[in-house]
Amino acid sequence: MSRCTKDMDVQAQEETCSVEDEVKRKETAQELIIGRWNWLKTTYLTRGADLSTQTPTTTQHSRVFEFGRDTLKIFENNALVKAQLYEIKYWGEGTNTVDDVLTVRYLDAEKKELTGVSILRLSTSGQCLMLVNSYNDAGGDVNFRRLP
């Protein structure tokens, strides 16, 4: 019986971390994102298909994202698998159509070229993070909880 309870507790931890109250200021996000973030789940959207969700339990992999001032290190099962630069910008920053949506722009560490963009949803408490990568009904949204 305790195993079932433990499994349910692990599943609940993997699935819950609310970003209802979001950071809207770039400077605040730049400070709050720094630290280690435990991967909770990734929800994939596929055109015309049901949602699909991966968690540490279903994949048998733990993942930690470690954000520094301008660097991101990604660990899988405690091994470093990727290191790159990042910057937080407003959607459209540098163009005529800037709005208040924050993004994380990923950059190649050597060439400093853009390699990807995620919409940033960060709770005002600084405890929950979502990187939104779903556009036009495709892609995956990644949820994290801050590690102590």
Residue 9 pLDDT more than 50? no
What average pLDDT does the structure give for the chain?
86
Give me the pLDDT at residue 138, please. Answer: 67
Give me the pLDDT at residue 147, please. Answer: 97
Give me the pLDDT at residue 17, please. Answer: 87
Weakest-pLDDT range from 5-19, 43-57, 89-103, 106-120 = 5-19
Weakest-pLDDT range from 2-11, 19-28, 116-125 = 2-11
Give me the pLDDT at residue 4, please. Answer: 39
- Higher per-residue pLDDT: 144 or 49: 144
CATH code assigned at 59: 2.40.128.370
Q: Are 57 and 10 in contact (CB under 8 A)?
A: yes
| CB proximity list for 61: less than 8 A, separation 6 or greater | 76, 77
Q: How many CA atoms lie within 13 A of 114 on its CB side?
A: 9
* Structural domain count of the chain: 1
Domain that holds residue 16: 2-146
Q: Are 61 and 31 in contact (CB under 8 A)?
A: no
d(CA 19, CA 5) in angstroms, rounded, equals: 26
Q: Are 140 and 42 in contact (CB under 8 A)?
A: yes
Give me the pLDDT at residue 5, please. Answer: 39
**What does residue 15 show for φ and ψ, rounded to 5 degrees?**
-100, -10
